[in-house]
Amino acid sequence: MEISSSTQQQDLKSEVFFEELRKRDFSRLEENQQVYFDYTGGNLYPESLLKEHYDFLSKNVLGNPHSTNPTSKLATQMVEEARKKVLEYFNASEDYFCIFTANASNALKIVGECYPFNEKSQLLLFADNHNSVNGLREFCKSKKGTFQYCPMYYEDLRIDETKLSELLHNKLDFENKLLAFPAQSNVSGVKHDLNWIKKAQDLSWDVLLDAAAFVPTSKLDLKEYPANFVSISFYKIFGFPTGIGCLFVRKDTFNKLHKPWFAGGTVSFAAVNEPLHKLNTNHERFEDGTINYLQIPAIKNGLDYIENIGMVNINKRVEKHTQFILSHFANLKHTNGNPLVAVYGPKDTQSRGGTIIFNVLDKDGKNIPFYEVEAKANEKNISIRTGCFCNPGIDEVNNCISNEELSKYYSAKEGANFLEMINYLGKMRGAVRISVGFVTNQSDLQNLIHFIESFRA
């Protein structure tokens, strides 16, 4: 009894805390009558973060970094403070370089471009990857390496771990083997088992962990899960600024990346009469040209903001919201008793985040086209996402799209697109995605359920 009443008290305290936070930093949602359910697409920025940063910018003079003049020195100092904070936040200070990039995709591209793929290399990908990871296969192919996908189960969209183990054991005589997978699916919310990092490394694989969808609502400790390369985008964690991500590279793998060119800021020496250059030996090697020195200082404030709330609290809140939605969706029925919603992937909160993919069904059990659901949501100022979410692997599994169908469509069409493929195959594709964050509140959740109920027939 005592335990449950103290849990209730804690829940109440947490509810009050998050409601106050919402009023303080996100009142624009109510003012604009917006209901936001695309936290995996991008988190919302707290107003206080904007104010803090613009205060700093308006009171200081910052110049292009890496010079000894005072305005340059201040910019360098602020960027390096942000970098230090990022490394500390992910428990990566000793073992990693933090390379600031434009976003997670750009971080991934650096790995693709610089990883030493050759005819004895293999790139192993989870079928549940964002296209910015799938695209790495083009770098691998261009250097005559091979790539393979590890499939996932239709039932819960989790990876086939027996197959994964087999694939990891398969290429023992290969050089430069890279396993690339998301810590959390950007579509199904599935959290993949991070223990595969060490298991793969023990079999001489390098591991690229795409943590973009995981870190906004979960703690990532890079000492515990020492992936060789890790990609993230900061706007997904705290909304502002956009245009900054980072690539963590483990120091002991750093020299494995071969940069195919050099640019301003990346070299310690370059000559013209004799075409020689020496690349920098730290993060600077991969930060081409002028970094975003006016916005990077805001990254430190953003991480401080998240730490003040506490990732454990964020995680709990997101789990509670996810549970609420999943249980309500399971109970929504048409008047004839048929279900109103078909959720793909896990139906509970075990090892998953706050991203849910589903289709709304008509009373005969057929999918209502996702674009109709989206159009209705738009009318009500509810921001959801629809389509395949840059993750074709999940959509192909959900809609049972065969290799033959994909090849037939692809070879028949010069330019290809998702909606046209639906027409061509006469087969529905796509789904609806919603995602919750620490800003989501009960009123948003009620709005969502009412909206889905509006399809009841």
Ligand X SMILES: Cc1ncc(COP(=O)(O)O)c(C=O)c1O
Q: Provide, rounded to whole angstroms, the least separation between the CB of residue 186 and ligand X.
A: 3
Buried b (16+ CB within 10 A) or exposed e, 217-243: bbbbebeebbbbbbbbbbbbbbbbbee
Give the type of residue at 444. Answer: D
Kindly give the interhelix angle for 418-425 and 403-412, rounded to the nearest 10 degrees.
110
The residues that bridge with 191 in the sheet, in sequence order, are 184
Kindly give the interhelix angle for 70-89 and 297-309, rounded to the nearest 10 degrees.
30
Nearer to ligand X, 43 or 121 (CB): 43
- Could you count the other beta carbons within 10 Å of the beta carbon of residue 116? 14
Nearer to ligand X, 182 or 239 (CB): 182
Nearer to ligand X, 207 or 213 (CB): 213
Nearer to ligand X, 147 or 235 (CB): 235
Q: Provide, rounded to whole angstroms, the least separation between the CB of residue 182 and ligand X.
A: 5
Q: Provide, rounded to whole angstroms, the least separation between the CB of residue 188 and ligand X.
A: 11
Q: Provide, rounded to whole angstroms, the least separation between the CB of residue 132 and ligand X.
A: 5
Nearer to ligand X, 107 or 448 (CB): 107
Give the footprint of ligand X on this chain (CB under 6 A).
Answer: 40, 103-105, 130, 132, 182, 186, 210, 212-213, 233, 245
Secondary structure in 3-state letters for 403-427 = HHHHHHHHHHCCCCCHHHHHHHHCC
The whole-angstrom distance between residue 353's C-alpha and the CA centroid of its chain comes to: 11
String of DSSP letters for 180-228: EEESB-TTT-BBP-TTHHHHHHHTTEEEEEE-TTTTTTS---TTTS--S
Does residue 352 contact residue 346 with C-beta atoms inside 8 Å?
Answer: yes
Instruction: Catalytic residue, from 140, 150, 390, 400: name it.
Output: 390
Does residue 40 contact residue 186 with C-beta atoms inside 8 Å?
Answer: yes
Q: Provide, rounded to whole angstroms, the least separation between the CB of residue 242 and ligand X.
A: 8
Nearer to ligand X, 182 or 345 (CB): 182
Q: Provide, rounded to whole angstroms, the least separation between the CB of residue 210 and ligand X.
A: 5
Q: Which of 160, 159, 166 is nearest to 128 (CA)?
A: 159
Establish whether 246 is a catalytic residue. no
Does residue 342 contact residue 361 with C-beta atoms inside 8 Å?
Answer: yes
The two three-digit tokens of residue 457, written as one number: 């027939």
Q: Which residues are catalytic?
A: 390
